[in-house]
Structure 1
Amino acid sequence: MTLMTFTPARASHDCDSRFFSPACVTESPVATVENTLPEESPQLPLNMVQAEDLMDRDGYVTVTVHLDQDKYLDHVIASATGDGLSPEDYAHEAAFGFGWPRESSAEITGVSGSEFIVSYTTFIREYLDN
């Protein structure tokens, strides 16, 4: 299961505060899980239009994804040894249906069962300008 929280990291409002704004969205794309969110919530991976709607004015999107721990650690090792894709590549693939990680970061913020809760930020504006 992949759960995502979309939060423009550099938006004029603060989604981490106790106030909620329309830019703060939690998404559960798994069909077997009952979706308690508004029907207009985006499905994953995000397409260009959905990502643009969530992008901050600087061109960044931050998502929180649940990623398999073993796969995530495989990407960490592969990235460190230069033998494969990075954790940012893994997070980007789960979150977006286009582009590649650019000016990106993936940070483990928690654990849920066998999954890491990862905050992933990437610059996407360049993919939307075409």
Structure 2
Amino acid sequence: MDRRKFIKNTGYGLGFATFTPQIIATAKNSHGSFRHGLASGDPLHDQVILWTRVTPETDLPIKINWQMSHSPNFQQLVCQGETVTNKERDYCVKVNAILPKQEVPGTTYYYRFLTGNQSSAIGRTHTL
């Protein structure tokens, strides 16, 4: 994927993720894989935006879990959550990961997305 397509698709995905309601019924067998990588941005001292896109196996909505940790082996999670993506969002996922109050600003974190038995690559991000 070239840079223009990436920027275009990211813009569409982030727009859909921002304006689409979060409550969607999800089928149990609607897993996908992570072929488009992941990204993080807009860091603050206590939160960061996490992004990915899922390549679906069907047109059904997909439940996505996300995790953040201090280490790339994810033995101890700092925070985690769950969201749903669908065809209307082009299967993009945008998460505003809010860190626990006890976390120290200026810290490096590792993050990943999960669906079914699929895991994304591991990303690294940093708060301000």
Q: Same fold (TM over 0.5)?
A: no
Give the number of the structure whose residues are more often helix, by fraction: 1
**Could you tell me the TM-score, scaled by structure 1's length?**
0.30
Give the number of the structure whose residues are more often strand, by fraction: 2
